[in-house]
Structure 1
Amino acid sequence: MTPPWSLPLNVPPEVLQELSKNLAPNGIADYAALTVFSAAAATFLSRGYLWDKPDPLHHLWFERPQLKNGGAIGSATKETRNIAKKLDESNKDLVVFWGSQSGTAEGFANRLAREISLRFGLSAMTADLSDYDPETISEIPESKLAGFLLSTYGEGDPSDNTAEFWDWISKTKDKEKLLSSLRYFAFGLGNRNYKYYNRVVDVAVEALDKLGANAIMPTGKADDAEGATQEDFMAWKEQLFAVFKGLGLQEHEVQYVPTLSVQEDESLEPIDLHNGEPDGSSLKAQCSPIRPLSISASRELFNSSDRHCLHIDLDLTTQPEFTYKTGDHLAIWPGNPDAEVERLLQSLGLTSRRDIPISIKSTDSATKVKIPSPTTVATLFRYYLEICGPVNRDNVLGLAQFAPTPDAKAYLQQLGQDKTSYAIFINKNHVNLGRLLQGASPEKWNIPLSYLVETLPSMQPRYYSISSSSVITPRKASITVSVSTAPVPENGGELIHGVTSNYLLAVSENLRSSPHPEGLTYHLNGPSDFLQGGKVLTHLRKSKFKLPALSKLPLIMVAAGTGLAPFRAFIAERRQLQQIGKETGELLLIFGCRRQDEDFIYRDELQEMQNALGDKLRVVTAFSREGKKQYVQDKVSEVSDDVFRLIEEGANFYICGRAEMAREVEKAVAEVMTVKGHDDVNEWRTRMKRRNKWQEDVW
């Protein structure tokens, strides 16, 4: 039969009528075929509308992180990635590069560049190492100076934004004269409790010197083991300034000159304002976007009236792009407590102006505005600045110029000038900005908002190890939160409240219609009230702290306190694999806390998993304030035969907790291996870490 679409246009009507009779559906089979054909056609035509929709975030896989602030390849307004060209275009004499994981090195870089400009008249700028192509450092002329402030974290790792620079110096270290025109100085941030103390700055300086760069002074180093980072930085900074004077630079009296303009603008409407939503442009590739998540459940883990530890479940079902793997981290973006926000507003005389719109703009093309603008002062203090942290001595001295009375000025100058006196004062008082101003003078302080934006750290997220398994609960992520509330030493009446942990405690208690135990209140509805109903702002971060691909490999896990969190997930995942018939290796968990009946978190769950796993799981406990005082490193030595046997059988070794604990555990394991006959323990340990069989998640 000739198909109807090939018939000529002048077909007689009677032929068409007969044809339509023959083509009409006749019987169940015809109707069924027609139904299938119609469904297939509808499915095909709805592609891209009802199904197989293009991922709106697909383009992010191809974006360079440095272009996340609005730049675009080929755009006329794109910032240059050539640092030498940037220095020339902005007429700068000096650049301070920073590599920072938590924001401390970035804050130091900003302070240093600002003070160099004020004290010596040099035009200085700061630079995120990820914003510039590292090879262009070789183009910086000898007439200019470069500083490198580099932090070390984890196992001697560089910060995320240092990765490109790190790769470059590793690959080009044999080109001896490449940086012969570069004059530089360097300062490292680290913690002596970590095995690779300040490794990043050491490696960077060695590479710079091999490339022909000229250091104008010895490398400075901060040690946070005893909380001395601020004082170490200040001491090194004074040495740097002495070198500057030796180079013939003239020192001037320091007077505040703003690099930012903060102005009220009542013409702005509420819809124009940023109400506290975090700026996620600085998040790196291993992080998800920032999104609100609902707390689906929260429970107390401690059996104590004055100490709190929370298990919090977060519902991921509303955020399809949120996918995690066992061992990843979840970040919480907190808000500051109402009392501290109100205290600071009152000290500055801004209580009545709290909701007036303000615009924050840079007065220097080389200075980036890190605070979303426009906004309000109340939002600035609640969400965008860290107002609860202690004030360093540098800032105490800087605030003296804005004192409302001669007595207040003298008080701050005396407090800030003497290192010993300030240390004694800090030991007796928790001095954040609001408390310091109130204590120095009850009168109104005329401190420019630009000064506070420039000197106070930006609010940072706090990261928690996810304590659930993505295999078991892929759309629910759990975190374990130790709530930090402690009295200041030598002053039992005043409490220091951890910012994020107490914020989470307030959210959790509010879900139960209960107040915060210490009476703290927060704006729990969040920016623009979109956190109503127990939501928090979060993002996910990929981690290298992972289970081995082979489930039959044994695991040794050492944890103290909330360091147990990721191991709860590890053990649960191994139990799940065993239940579906997979071969699983032996698990040895060494866990420490204060007291068995008070803060042994997840004890019942661990018992259930022991029952399910049988002889596959052994739990060894250490209690530091019950019976014979013991720590996890003591238990490592106590069960040395099992530790050695499992390592010889190919076990992965994991440590999670504080850095000083990890250091002691590593010493204990090294002693075990030495006693058991390993001649070169360092080589063994290096080999283990290179193969990812020794992993640490420490803070």
Structure 2
Amino acid sequence: MATFPPNIPPELLHELSKYTTPTGVADYAALALIGGIGATLLSRGRLWDKPDPLHHLWFERPQLKNGAQAGSANKETRNIAQKLEETGKNIVVFWGSQSGTAEGFAHRLAREISIRWGQEAMTADLSDYDPITISEIPNAKLAIFVVSTYGEGDPSDNTAEFWSWISKASDVSLSNLRYAAFGLGNTNYKFYNRVVDVIVEGLDKFGAQPLMPVGKANDAEGATEEDFMSWKEDLFAVFKDKLGFQEAEAKYVPSLKVEEDESLEPIDLHHGEPNNRAEAPKTAAQSSAVRTLNISDSRELFTSSDRHCLHMDVDLSSQPELSYKTGDHLAIWPGNPDVEVERLLDVLGISSRRDIPLGITTLDSATKVPIPTPTSSIAIFRYYLEICAPVNRDNIRDLAQFAPTPEAKAYLLALGKDKDTYASFIGRTHVNLGRLLQLACPDRPWNNLPLSYLVETLPHIRPRFYSISSSSIVSPRKPSITAIVSTTPLPENPNELIHGVTSNYLLAISQQARSQSHPSGITYHLNGPGDALQGGKVFAHIRRSKFKLPALGKTPLVMVAAGTGIAPFRAFLSERCQLLKIGKEVGPMILFFGCRNPNEDYIYREELEEMQAVLGGRLRIVTAFSRLEGTPRQYVQDRVGEFGKDVIEVIEEGGNIYVCGRAGMAREVEKVVGRTMKEAKGWSDDEVNGWSKTIKKKNKWQEDVWG
């Protein structure tokens, strides 16, 4: 029966009912038909047109059923104690890593424990397991933590959950847990190795038993590798003297199998396309998916002929789902230079088989396949492994077992044995894998060196992040980046340069657009896998950042930058110019900028002066030049000290302070500002530290720093 809204007169209801009540066979037939259609639609998928549960098999690749990309029917446990029991492991090496160094150390350590000490060891991403389950690890097993600190004492993304738990948990007993810990940090940052300190403090608070003092690496001195190796040897002394482990001759035992499979077709393979969706959930959530993006324009910013700095505009038009906000980062995924790819293929004797399909499978249930499979040798060396990275002493010694001649074996053992010999060698020669193998044995291929060893031990290519130097309000579909091209001379051989992988890759793309070659003659496969990058494209993704302008345009700003640290401030100023143009109030700003020489590397000078003219008296630019002939060296932190009263005035007016550049510079700037506040306010050191923590907690002091 039809229903009507209330408050309708009875006479009208009576009249309407004549048209809503069935009056004949035709009306009843129509109602029956409508009801039948509705019932049919509602029952679809239940009573009829049920989906075939095996329909997906038509689309599966049979060769992937047992591979890492095929997935698993069994959901992985998040209980680390259960995982150790299921896999028969005695030792777990947890890792927390932002750039990949701590992860690499963890894998090296677990592998060496298994080979050298006969103990079943596994690595574990801290984000893969529920933190509370470490309390269930029995006393007969060991836990080792290898964790990095970055930024202002921050944990890596994959350590965040464990960090939160260990800091806030209560009523937890870890009395059965025996552990060791190693931290990676940098004394250029204020909170050196804070993450490992907090974790160890929490473990001890809950009764865990340390096997040895915590180890720490200091990257500010370039000593991370040697610090790790020294700590590792101390750990192994504990294994031998306290735990009674028996040391055996180190011999490679693969945890992966890499084998040719010529039954696969090119369409089945991964040719080098990157994928960031496999990262820790928190990391993945902060980033867009990797996409191919057009470089719409690029130009040189330096006037020097032997130094290069690029401004690049990237076009998002082909990827409508991508967007960015002012202050975000653009991640560029590089390829390795052709000369190093060819060198490694030749020295391994597999140049002619570079395109043969390779399947990679795990031989250990606790080991993940680290790169996409199936693939090929050319894709592995061109896009998936960091083949340009220096070879550490551990790996040099390991490589000796695969040497094609006794002389090559002796050469590697001697080089890897002594710290000083190794340090002197890498001071003269950039010793990446291909070059090392050539030097050790120039006349014979390394046929006995398995690809599985390289996949397990070489670091995997990761993207490089660049601060976006455009405003999302002014240029919403064309973010820009500012990239200085890295060419570092060797300490003992200045004529030999180490070329940064990603920046030189970008330089090659920029030069190709002008029909010119790379200044150093370096070539890359710029068309990308399957010609996906043809026409000047890159693989890239956008990462969200907390380095943001305040919501109110009238908030005063102090911005401190050195070199390419100016990038996000170009975006900030561009946005504030736009706000002013549309009639919004804009607060006063001071930009401190440091570089070598105003005639050489004062990047964006004309743009900054134009924006200063638009903003009128609202923007003051203070420069510092460290290599200006005829004048003393001056750094940006020196200028901040000179204008200390103005900086304090901005702070007291509720302004924000931003610092972008190297971590050492940021630390010095904080010291200068803290000293100025101390003198102006008559504060003690504790009061200065308390103020510093408070202003950072409120996001009134933000940093985007590196190195």
Residues 339/154 of structure 1: CA separation in 2 closer, same or farther (3 Å cut): same
Q: Which of 526, 529, 532 is the matching residue for 1:530? A: 532
Equivalent residue of 1:113, what SS? helix
Alignment-derived partner of residue 233 in structure 1:
228
Equivalent residue of 2:483, what SS? strand
What is the alpha-carbon distance in structure 2 between the residues aligned to residue 10 and residue 152 of structure 1?
A: 78
Does the CA contact (< 8 Å) of 1:296 and 1:314 recur in 2? yes
Task: Note the 1:390-409 alignment, pairs <5 A.
Answer: 390-409=390-409
Residue 124 in 1 paired to residue 121 in 2? yes
What is the alpha-carbon distance in structure 1 between the residues aligned to residue 648 and residue 164 of structure 2?
A: 36
Task: Note the 1:272-283 alignment, pairs <5 A.
Answer: 272-280=268-276, 281-282=278-279, 283=283
Residue 590 in 1 paired to residue 592 in 2? yes
Q: Which of 160, 163, 188 is the matching residue for 1:163? A: 160
What is the alpha-carbon distance in structure 2 between the residues aligned to residue 660 and residue 337 of structure 1?
A: 31
Alignment-derived partner of residue 621 in structure 1:
623
What is the alpha-carbon distance in structure 2 between the residues aligned to residue 678 and residue 254 of structure 1?
A: 62
What is the alpha-carbon distance in structure 2 between the residues aligned to residue 493 and residue 194 of structure 1?
A: 32
Alignment-derived partner of residue 683 in structure 1:
690
What is the alpha-carbon distance in structure 2 between the residues aligned to residue 656 and residue 193 of structure 1?
A: 14
Residue 109 in 1 paired to residue 130 in 2? no
Does the CA contact (< 8 Å) of 1:160 and 1:284 recur in 2? no
> 157-166 or 669-678: which moved more?
669-678
Shift of 1:668: 1.1
Equivalent residue of 2:78, what SS? coil
Shift of 1:320: 2.0
Shift of 1:3: 6.2
Matched to 1:261, the amino acid is K
Matched to 1:327, the amino acid is G
What is the alpha-carbon distance in structure 2 between the residues aligned to residue 182 and residue 9 of structure 1?
A: 82
Task: Note the 1:367-378 alignment, pairs <5 A.
Answer: 367-378=367-378
Residues 507/352 of structure 1: CA separation in 2 closer, same or farther (3 Å cut): same
Alignment-derived partner of residue 445 in structure 2:
444
What is the alpha-carbon distance in structure 1 between the residues aligned to residue 438 and residue 173 of structure 2?
A: 54
Residue 221 in 1 paired to residue 228 in 2? no
Matched to 2:254, the amino acid is P
Does the CA contact (< 8 Å) of 1:259 and 1:367 recur in 2? yes
Q: Deviations over 1:182-224 (max 9, x none)?
A: 1111000000110000000000000011011111111000000
Does the CA contact (< 8 Å) of 2:183 and 2:195 recur in 1? yes
Task: Note the 1:253-292 alignment, pairs <5 A.
Answer: 253-280=249-276, 281-282=278-279, 283-292=283-292
What is the alpha-carbon distance in structure 1 between the residues aligned to residue 297 and residue 23 of structure 2?
A: 69
Matched to 1:119, the amino acid is R
What is the alpha-carbon distance in structure 2 between the residues aligned to residue 103 and residue 79 of structure 1?
A: 23
Does the CA contact (< 8 Å) of 2:560 and 2:660 recur in 1? yes
What is the alpha-carbon distance in structure 2 between the residues aligned to residue 6 and residue 657 of structure 1?
A: 79
Residue 323 in 1 paired to residue 323 in 2? yes
Shift of 1:279: 2.8
Q: Which of 72, 96, 100 is the matching residue for 2:97? A: 100
What is the alpha-carbon distance in structure 1 between the residues aligned to residue 620 and residue 26 of structure 2?
A: 89
Q: Which of 558, 563, 569 is the matching residue for 2:565? A: 563
What is the alpha-carbon distance in structure 2 between the residues aligned to residue 4 and residue 362 of structure 1?
A: 70
Q: Which of 652, 658, 663 is the matching residue for 2:662? A: 658
What is the alpha-carbon distance in structure 2 between the residues aligned to residue 683 and residue 88 of structure 1?
A: 46
Does the CA contact (< 8 Å) of 2:562 and 2:661 recur in 1? yes
Does the CA contact (< 8 Å) of 1:99 and 1:105 recur in 2? yes
Alignment-derived partner of residue 349 in structure 1:
349
Q: Which of 663, 675, 694 is the matching residue for 2:701? A: 694
Alignment-derived partner of residue 504 in structure 1:
506
> 383-392 or 282-291: which moved more?
282-291
Alignment-derived partner of residue 652 in structure 2:
648
What is the alpha-carbon distance in structure 2 between the residues aligned to residue 324 and residue 399 of structure 1?
A: 45
Task: Note the 1:117-196 alignment, pairs <5 A.
Answer: 117-172=114-169, 174-175=170-171, 178-196=173-191
What is the alpha-carbon distance in structure 2 between the residues aligned to residue 430 and residue 279 of structure 1?
A: 29
Residues 245/573 of structure 1: CA separation in 2 closer, same or farther (3 Å cut): same
Residues 678/71 of structure 1: CA separation in 2 closer, same or farther (3 Å cut): farther
Q: Deviations over 1:611-670 (max 9, x none)?
A: 000110000000110032100011011111211111111111111111111111111111
Task: Note the 1:630-645 alignment, pairs <5 A.
Answer: 630-645=634-649
Alignment-derived partner of residue 293 in structure 2:
293
What is the alpha-carbon distance in structure 1 between the residues aligned to residue 315 and residue 124 of structure 2?
A: 38
Q: Which of 193, 200, 222 is the matching residue for 1:198? A: 193
Alignment-derived partner of residue 33 in structure 1:
none
What is the alpha-carbon distance in structure 2 between the residues aligned to residue 265 and residue 219 of structure 1?
A: 46
Does the CA contact (< 8 Å) of 1:71 and 1:77 recur in 2? no
Does the CA contact (< 8 Å) of 2:648 and 2:677 recur in 1? yes
**Count, aligned residues:** 638
What is the alpha-carbon distance in structure 2 between the residues aligned to residue 614 and residue 457 of structure 1?
A: 50
What is the alpha-carbon distance in structure 2 between the residues aligned to residue 4 and residue 535 of structure 1?
A: 64
What is the alpha-carbon distance in structure 1 between the residues aligned to residue 26 and residue 679 of structure 2?
A: 102
What is the alpha-carbon distance in structure 2 between the residues aligned to residue 345 and residue 10 of structure 1?
A: 81
CA RMSD after TM alignment: 1.6
What is the alpha-carbon distance in structure 1 between the residues aligned to residue 508 and residue 384 of structure 2?
A: 19
Q: Which of 654, 661, 668 is the matching residue for 2:672? A: 668
Does the CA contact (< 8 Å) of 2:181 and 2:214 recur in 1? yes
Does the CA contact (< 8 Å) of 2:559 and 2:659 recur in 1? yes
> 138-147 or 277-286: which moved more?
277-286
Equivalent residue of 1:676, what SS? helix
Does the CA contact (< 8 Å) of 1:71 and 1:78 recur in 2? no
Equivalent residue of 1:284, what SS? helix
Matched to 1:507, the amino acid is I
Shift of 1:487: 2.2
Shift of 1:4: 11
What is the alpha-carbon distance in structure 2 between the residues aligned to residue 493 and residue 357 of structure 1?
A: 40
Equivalent residue of 1:221, what SS? strand
Matched to 1:87, the amino acid is L
What is the alpha-carbon distance in structure 2 between the residues aligned to residue 185 and residue 284 of structure 1?
A: 29
Q: Deviations over 1:260-290 (max 9, x none)?
A: 1010111111111000011321152111111
What is the alpha-carbon distance in structure 2 between the residues aligned to residue 137 and residue 450 of structure 1?
A: 31
Residues 575/10 of structure 1: CA separation in 2 closer, same or farther (3 Å cut): closer
Alignment-derived partner of residue 237 in structure 2:
242
What is the alpha-carbon distance in structure 2 between the residues aligned to residue 6 and residue 294 of structure 1?
A: 64
Q: TM-score normalised to the size of structure 1? A: 0.89
Q: Deviations over 1:96-122 (max 9, x none)?
A: 000000000000000000000111111
Equivalent residue of 1:666, what SS? helix
Shift of 1:71: 10
Does the CA contact (< 8 Å) of 1:71 and 1:79 recur in 2? no
Alignment-derived partner of residue 309 in structure 1:
309
Residues 244/10 of structure 1: CA separation in 2 closer, same or farther (3 Å cut): closer
Displaced runs of 4 or more, over 2 A: 1-11, 69-72
What is the alpha-carbon distance in structure 1 between the residues aligned to residue 138 and residue 20 of structure 2?
A: 80
What is the alpha-carbon distance in structure 1 between the residues aligned to residue 130 and residue 481 of structure 2?
A: 37
Alignment-derived partner of residue 548 in structure 1:
550
Alignment-derived partner of residue 541 in structure 2:
539
What is the alpha-carbon distance in structure 2 between the residues aligned to residue 238 and residue 568 of structure 1?
A: 48
What is the alpha-carbon distance in structure 1 between the residues aligned to residue 25 and residue 395 of structure 2?
A: 90
Q: Deviations over 1:577-617 (max 9, x none)?
A: 11111111111000001110110010000000000001100
What is the alpha-carbon distance in structure 1 between the residues aligned to residue 440 and residue 575 of structure 2?
A: 55
